[in-house]
Amino acid sequence: MSIKPSASFTDTKPHYQILNGLRGVAAIMVIFYHIFEAFATSSMDQKFNHGYLAVDFFFVLSGFVIGYAYDDRWGKMNISGFFRRRLIRLQPMVIMGAFLGLITFLIQGGEAWDGSKVSILMIASAFLLHIFLLPAMPGSGVEVRGNGEMFPLNGPSWSLFFEYIGNIFYALFLRRLSTKGLKAVVILSGIGLFTFAVGNFSGFWHLGVGWTLADNNFIGGMLRLLYAFSAGLLMSRLFKPGKIKGAFIICSVVIVFLLSMPFIGSSDELWINGLYDAICTIIVFPFLVYVGASGKLKSKTSERLSKFLGDISYPLYMVHYPFMYFFYSWVWKNGLTFSEVWPVAIVLLIGNILLAWIILKIYDIPVRKYLSKRS
């Protein structure tokens, strides 16, 4: 999701170019995380393990940017205008992700993971629910892959489901809170998130929750959203930029390091991984947003790189996973190891980046421009 807010509202405000680029760095790390999922039996033996925390970083960024872009505009904009702008920004790629998921699912034969055939009616229903971001219940007919995903045609859409909830909360409630009230929300939700992570309410000693409605996932997803989004919003109110040299490189290196860490803690100390997740989400990610917003890009090359990463970040996040389903099926059916398929993994990464850029240029930007003119 681009950091650049709607031009009609922010022409006089500077754009946080580094934050744009960091979103792209995190999106690429999500792809690495999903690639390595193909070779793990659980999070505990996954070599490249913490990519799911990118979502928490995205939520902090979203709260920060939405507060920055809209907090002082409500005299010129009503709630329906805000929702219209957010729909124009987010929904075209939700639909594209669902469409790609539909096509790839049909190419794979319209089969669930257990090999059972799924009816065309259920596939069509899953697609219809997906484009309106209505989640599928685990075990229901429209949960067509049979692995519990909210959005089985394109799993990562779950975070957009929560992103919309965050936008609704902002428009109806959070923006109306005093700074003191918002601080209370951040503190209470932070305590809840810490308890969820360290207390193992996920059942797996990590915060990779929210993608399904099973067990405590919805509660975990809401805590992840509420803390990160509110923290970002609070930062947008209190933020006073410093002058930090090399902010883009520093933040990029830290993001890559944090999201690539394997599972932390032995079998007797699994709680350490939950603590790691809590520290990243509650402390480190808001700090990285502060650092990124306090830096400046010094060269044309870094500006171009950051702009490219920011531009493709949201499309990349939304279009890569349908092709991961192909990758998983191929690896699992043939019992392949990473050492046997790493060239394909590289092609998958580069191909998705290229696809995201193409879709951005020929679909996302033109559709948003058209809808903005019509709204």
Whether the pLDDT of residue 6 is over 60: the answer is no
Average pLDDT over all residues of the chain: 94
**pLDDT reported for residue 241:** 81
In sequence order, the β-bridge partners of residue 212 are 149
**pLDDT reported for residue 7:** 35
**pLDDT reported for residue 266:** 84
**pLDDT reported for residue 13:** 67
Name the pLDDT band for 261 (thresholds 50, 70, 90). Answer: very high
Give the DSSP H/E element, type plus range, for residue 222: helix 217-238
Residues 153-211: tens digit of each pLDDT: 999 999 999 999 999 999 999 999 999 999 999 999 999 999 999 999 999 999 999 99
**pLDDT reported for residue 267:** 83
**Identity at 84, one-letter amino acid code:** R
Phi-psi group of 313: left, alpha or beta (phi > 0 → left; psi -120 to 50 → alpha; rest → beta): alpha
Whether the pLDDT of residue 2 is over 80: the answer is no
Which sign, positive or negative, has the C-alpha torsion 238, 9, 28, 155?
A: positive
**φ, ψ of residue 240 in degrees (nearest 5):** -130, 110
**pLDDT reported for residue 11:** 43
Q: How wide is the angle at C-alpha 57 spanned by C-alphas 56 and 60, nearest 5°?
A: 90
Task: Characterize 331-348 residue by residue with b for buried, 16 or more Cβ atoms within 10 angstroms of its Cβ, and e for exposed.
Answer: beeeeeeeeebeeebeeb
Instruction: Estimate to the nearest angstrom the gap between the alpha carbon of 55 and the chain centroid.
Output: 4
Whole-number Å distance between alpha carbons of 339 and 214: 34
Token reading at 317: 């996040």
Whether the pLDDT of residue 5 is over 70: the answer is no
Which pTM does this prediction carry?
0.95
Contact yes or no for 297/79 (Cβ under 8 A): no
**φ, ψ of residue 212 in degrees (nearest 5):** -140, 165
Residue written as token pair 């690539």:
260
C-alpha distances out from residue 1 to 90, 93, 286, Å = 8, 10, 17
Whether the pLDDT of residue 36 is over 50: the answer is yes
Looking at residues 112-139, what average pLDDT do you find? 97
